[in-house]
Amino acid sequence: MVFSSYEEEHDKHVASVLQRLRDNSLFAKALKCVFHASSVEYLGYDVSSDGLKMDSSKVQQILNWPQPQNIKALQYFLGFANFYCCFVKNYSKKITALTSLLKKDSPFICNEEALSQFQLLKEAFTTAPILSHFNPSLPTIVDTDASDYALGAVLSQACWDEFLSEFHFTITYCPGRLATLPDALSSWEDVYPERGVDFISKIPQNFHQIIKQDGIQESRFFSIKVEIFSDLVDNIQKELLLFKDRLVIPRNEELQLNILQKRHDSPLAGHPGQEKTLKLIKRHFYWAGINQFIKEYLSSCHQCSSNKNIHHKKFRLMKPLEIPCSPWNSLSMDFITQLPLSNNFDSILLAVDRFSKMAIFIPTYGTITSLDLAQVFISHVFSKHGLPVSIISDRGSLFVSSFWTQLYEQLKISRDLSTDFHPETDEQTERVNQILEQYLWMYKNYNQDDRYTWLPLAEFAYNNV
């Protein structure tokens, strides 16, 4: 924009600017140029020698602005209004009732005071004065103000990448709060008249009835006092309960599963991960325990587990345990549990020497305590073969109990635990388990209650091979 005090001066200024453009191989499009104009529309303002006025087209936008129905619609309006706030005296005080509706976790209830301020603000813009240009010859007054009702809003706008790709332009970052005017107009909610609860129509009709019947009448909501209830939900529209602009789904697993499958299994969703699936559902829906529900479903999704790549770091290669230096210097221990009762025993403790592969099979019971286990160990292992240097076991509660930990420390025994979810760490004992179970399965009676009598023979047969 080129401006001058006099017409002759203006011609020189324009010629100078055009020459500068020519020197740098830049060109101005004639259809977009206006010459010798007393006023011009520029960046949302009508600029003239008298001062600044609001763009008349923007004033018409304000006049036609519908009453905000939710927080986002109100944010768009206030973002637009903030751009022209300099035309309204005491602007921050005139929007106190509107800004109070923006408080976090507060229900959006547009009361009479807020509606009144909305209408008065629209009228104030239509009667806005002309802001005169600064005149340094006149007395200068600096007015300062610190208000409790100051409003800061951050808005965002998606780029039309495909459309803009044919142009050559420079992208410069600008905070959303500084671009409220174009963002407010582009995000005007009236452009999307079907937003809100319209997505409900896409849900099967039988599910729609379930939501209407159970959503509001769910006991956990009506057991809350009305005052607290009003803080939890935004609104009730068309007999449907909304929470933060999301539809509240009752505790109906069939309905919740249907919603989840459409936003995970569907080709339009593409089996996204847990975080993305959660975002898709939370756009429109809410129910108690939604995070855990999605986590459990995705962990059991066959398509995801079969076709998705594993992104965790590679596991280190498992290394074989060092060979002990002598018999019964190192042994491994494990339980076979939940067997049919035989002489009041329902479990078997296995102790296997890692050097000689010799094994001891000890009948015991599933409810054995760590103290009893220590006594069994002393009677059947320590009394015959002495104290080992190390013991390998799984991560069962008995082997990791505080008693056994103290016993290891006092007897100076090294304890090695098998790796989580990798029983092959103690593969030797696992193999002995299989051999013993096969032996007992071959010789047990029909009632399977004579395992105790076969145990000494099974131990001899295994060690004799």
In order, the DSSP letters of 310-373 are P-SPPPPPP-PPPPPSSTTSEEEEEEE-SPPPBTTB-EEEEEEETTT--EEEEEE-TT--HHHH
Same domain, 223 and 159: no
Higher pLDDT, 463 or 148: 463
Q: Which residue has the higher pLDDT, 331 or 416?
A: 331
Domain of 67, in residue numbers: 54-132+155-192
**For position 28, what pLDDT does the model report?**
82
Q: Which two tokens stand for residue 424?
A: 């092959």
Q: Is residue 114, in this structure, part of any structural domain at all?
A: yes
Given this model, what pLDDT does residue 148 score? 47
pLDDT: which is higher, 162 or 448: 448
Q: Is residue 152 predicted with pLDDT exceeding 50?
A: no
Instruction: Give the DSSP H or E segment for 42.
Output: strand 39-42
Q: Comparing 192 with 106, which gets the higher pLDDT?
A: 106
Q: Do both 299 and 335 map to the same domain?
A: no
320-372 confidence digits (pLDDT tens): 778 888 898 888 888 888 888 888 888 999 999 989 999 999 999 888 887 88
Regarding whether 458 and 339 lie in a shared domain, the answer is yes
Task: Please say if the pLDDT value at position 210 is more than 80.
Answer: no
Residue 304 has pLDDT above 60, yes or no: yes
Residue 316 inside a domain? The answer is no
Mark whether 255 and 343 lie in a shared domain.
no
**% pLDDT > 70, the chain:** 66
- Indicate if 238 and 271 belong to the same structural domain: yes
Looking at the predicted structure, is the pLDDT value of residue 463 above 50?
A: yes
Q: Are residues 300 and 240 in the same domain?
A: yes
Predicted structure pTM score: 0.34
Q: What is the pLDDT of residue 403?
A: 57
The verdict on residue 36 lying in a domain is no
Are 297 and 216 found together in one domain?
A: yes
Q: Are 59 and 126 in contact (CB under 8 A)?
A: yes
Decide which of 192, 208, 243 is a domain's last residue.
Answer: 192
> 3-class secondary structure for 419-437?
CCCCHHHHHHHHHHHHHHH
In-domain check, residue 228: yes
Domain CATH number, residue 441: 3.30.420.10
CATH of residue 266's domain is: 1.10.340
Within-domain flag for 162: yes
**How many folded domains does the chain comprise?**
3
Q: Residue 97 is which amino acid?
A: A
The answer, yes or no, to whether residue 197 has pLDDT greater than 60, is no
| Least confident among 39-53, 219-233, 287-301, 352-366 | 219-233
What tens digit of pLDDT does each residue of 225-280 get? 334 444 444 455 555 677 777 888 888 888 888 889 888 988 888 888 889 899 99
Instruction: Compute the mean pLDDT over every residue in the chain, rounded to the nearest whole number.
Output: 73
Q: Is residue 322 part of a domain?
A: no
Q: Are residues 289 and 386 in the same domain?
A: no
| Same domain (yes/no): 175, 239 | no
Residues 171 and 222 in one domain: no
Residues 204 and 181 grouped into a single domain: no
Considering the domain boundaries, does residue 311 fall inside one? no
Q: Assess if residue 250 is contained within a domain.
A: yes
